[in-house]
Amino acid sequence: MALEPDQPFFVYTVSLLSAIGGFLFGYDTGIVSGAMVLIKKQLHLSDFWQELIVSITIGMAWVFSCLAGYFTDKFGRRPVILVASAIFTAGSVVMAFALEKWTLLIGRGIVGAGIGLASMVVPMYIAEVAPDETRGALVSLNNCFITGGQFVAALVAGFLSYFDHDLAWRLMLGIAGVPAFLQFVGFFFMPESPRWLIKKGKDERAKQVLNRIRSCDQSALLEFKMIRDNCIEEAEKSVLQNSSTNVLAKVLASQPLRRALFVGCALQAVAQASGINTVMYYSATIIQMSGIYEETLAIWLAAAVASVNFICGFLGFYLVERTGRRKLTLGSLGGVIISLLVLAAGFQLAEYESPSIQPMQPFNSSSQLTNLDLCSVQTSCRDCIARPECGFCFNDNPPWSDGSCLHAAPSTELDSSWDISRSATGMCSNGTIVPEKKVWAYGWCPTKYAWVTIMGLCLYLFFFSPGMGPMPWTINAEIYPFWARSACYSISTSVNWAFNLAVSLTFLSLTKAITRYGAFYLYSCFAIIGWIYFAFELPETRGRTLENVEELFRRGKKGQDSEGKRPVSSVSVTTINSQTSIVKH
């Protein structure tokens, strides 16, 4: 999007600095994918601990996104962004110096608190300072920073994977403190949201802010009057209805707002239930699952996948004000469904053609199995890796028919039964790749269909990034009246983190319970249900002022009135004889 010539550069400065919060969100999402490949071996992490270290950040983000609505209403948008960046900086330092997994877990939790606050307040702050004609693009800019953070994280992980692995993952997690600190310093010089200032009766400060972020004094004054009139109207309604009634009760009492809130929460839920953060948190692990065993190569391939996410994010930035929110969301989600089916098919093909194994020990009855090593009697790689104590040891030479199923080495960690980096005995007891070219595969099997999985990942991000990435945040920043915006946006953001937590906390366990391809088929079912719902319920919000978007949910679907026409804005600007006036319809 080109800069509008009649808009002051300061509004773009505010938006860019705010979007660093999105960058931090994206960096943490992306870096944990590469870091976990190294951490799980360095700290001997079980599947449970891997899920826990990934998910503690999401859980804390969920909790603090719920609290963010109260904080932003009481203290303002700017102080919450300052606190979020300070918390993220502190968490990054704790992770960088973590000596064992409990300290790492605490650091991940601190970072999650900062992300939860920022993920709720940043898009709302940008929407409230942006002009109506560029609001969608500027809020989408936050998503570009999220995907940019994921891409930068993937590159950082790739370069640092050549370092000593213990140092590498510490640097990966600690570097995020640098942009967080820069945002903390920069926001001391940023203004508060003019809408929040007017709501709190600080009219003169609000006028000063609007004069800095609007093209001329007349347009700033016009917007000031419109916002103030809206606040007065909402205050009068509140007194008439019952001033003691809390915001959530008022939202639930209003049919249009209930509908808007349900649509907003559904957007966030479907974005997560369709598996986006499974792809981002575990992209390197998914690539390893597909048969790419070498850690550095898996991390670099994850970086290539993240680049698709980053580049295609700008498509959404370009299209949001041209095609509209509704078309972009539906088109994006349709492509996500196709991509999930490709991903599932890749894993299904790999399982059906799993390398066979000649059992090392004969067995004739179930009674003998109690005294035999259960790894040694497996007949295929698929069956071998399904047992948590077993791994597949093979020559890296297709069709990999000379492999063996061996018991994993015992771990020195009290909470983990096996050292997943090597076998207890045999040619793979020295680690992943040994001089005899034997490869130790724990949790994956070699396959010729790895390219299908990688293609599915790329397709997924190609379709997700322009639409389902930014639109839940953009639309949620637009569809609530000012008096309910903080509460409703906080609720929808908490729904995002709740589903994010559920998906990320269960992914590795889900792949074992219903197979890898079954997990992606399940995600595709959620996406299909979401597409059908949005086709009927999602309105178009492009070109609306924040003060009258609520009308879309009061009238017919797709924002049409009873005659099938788009309703006009309740406030529009006309220029007659070079003078600007407010025309109310």
pLDDT digits (tens, 9 = 90+) for 63-98: 898 888 889 888 999 999 999 999 999 999 999 998
- Are residues 238 and 382 located together in one domain of the fold? no
CA distance 579 to 99: 67
Which residues neighbour 253 within 8 Å (Cβ) at sequence distance 6 or greater?
Answer: 241, 245
pLDDT at 289 over 60: yes
Confidence (pLDDT) at 562 = 35
At residue 533, the pLDDT reads 95
How far apart are the C-alpha atoms of 332 and 352, rounded to whole Å?
31
In a domain, 561, yes or no: yes
Please give the Cα distance from 531 to 119 (Å, whole number).
24
Which two tokens mark 133?
A: 């004609």
Regarding whether 494 and 436 lie in a shared domain, the answer is no
> What is the DSSP secondary structure assignment for residue 95, as one 8-state letter?
H
**In the chain, pLDDT over 70 holds for what percent of residues?**
85
Q: Place 239 in a pLDDT band, splitting at 50, 70 and 90.
A: low
Question: Same structural domain for residues 332 and 471?
Answer: yes
Q: How many CA atoms lie within 13 A of 376 on its CB side?
A: 13
125 and 67 fall within a common domain: yes
The reply to whether 545 falls in a domain is no
- As a whole number of angstroms, the distance between CA 192 and CA 189 comes to 10
Domain closes at, from 513, 537, 561: 537
> Residue 570: what are its φ and ψ, rounded to 5°?
-70, -20
- pLDDT band of residue 432 (cuts 50, 70, 90) is low
In this structure, the number of other CB atoms found within 10 A of the CB of residue 371 comes to 7
Confidence of residue 103 (pLDDT cuts 50, 70, 90): very high
- With respect to residue 467, please indicate whether it lies within any of the assigned structural domains: yes
Most confident residue range from 313-317, 415-419, 432-436: 313-317
User: Region 124-143: what's the mean pLDDT?
Assistant: 79
How far apart, in Å, are the Cα atoms of 572 and each of 222, 382, 583, 584? 10, 64, 6, 7
- Whether 381 and 457 share a structural domain: no
Q: Which domain holds residue 414?
A: 366-441
Q: Identify the top-confidence range among 114-118, 283-287, 399-403.
A: 114-118
Task: Evaluate if residue 364 carries a pLDDT over 70.
Answer: no
C-beta atoms surrounding 448 within 10 Å: 13
Which CATH number characterizes residue 129's domain? 1.20.1250.20
Is residue 359 one of the residues assigned to a domain? no
pLDDT at position 572, please? 37
Q: Are residues 423 and 456 in the same domain?
A: no
What is the pLDDT averaged over residues 183-201? 88
Comparing 568 with 231, the larger pLDDT belongs to 231
pLDDT class for 353, splitting at 50, 70, 90?
confident
To 10 degrees, the CA torsion angle through 403, 406, 412, 414? 120
Residue type, 293: Y
Least confident of 73-77, 369-373, 515-519, 581-585: 581-585
C-alpha distances out from residue 163 to 119, 139, 150, 158, 496, Å: 32, 37, 20, 10, 35
Asked if residue 236 belongs to a domain, the reply is yes
> 417 and 341 share a domain?
no
Chosen domain end from 390, 417, 441:
441
Residue 335's pLDDT band, with cuts at 50, 70 and 90, is very high
Q: Which residue has the higher pLDDT, 431 or 445?
A: 445
Better-scored residue on pLDDT, 109 or 213: 109
Number of domains present in the structure of the chain = 3
Domain endpoint, select from 441, 474, 499: 441
Q: Give 568 or 238, the one with higher predicted confidence.
A: 238
| Average per-residue pLDDT for the chain | 80
370, 277: one domain: no
The mean pLDDT of 24-53, rounded to a whole number, is: 80
pLDDT at 10: 75
Output the pLDDT for position 585: 35
pLDDT tens digits along 156-165: 888 888 888 8
d(CA 262, CA 79) in angstroms, rounded, equals 29
My answer on whether 306 and 431 are in the same domain is no
Report if residue 353 sits inside a domain.
no
Domain membership of residue 78 (yes or no) is yes
Domain for residue 310, yes or no? Answer: yes
Same domain, 495 and 574: no
Q: What amino acid occupies position 227?
A: I
When comparing pLDDT for 299 and 491, which is higher? 491
pLDDT at 7: 53
Spatial CB neighbours of 152, under 8 Å, sequence gap ≥ 6: 23, 26, 27, 30
What confidence tens digit (pLDDT) does each residue in 505-558 have? 788 788 888 888 899 999 999 999 999 999 999 988 887 766 666 677 775 444
- Let me know whether 403 and 484 are in one domain: no
Among 458, 477, 462, 464, residue whose Cα is nearest residue 142: 477
- Measured CA to CA, the distance from residue 16 to residue 62 in angstroms comes to 24
Could you tell me if 393 and 533 lie in one domain? no
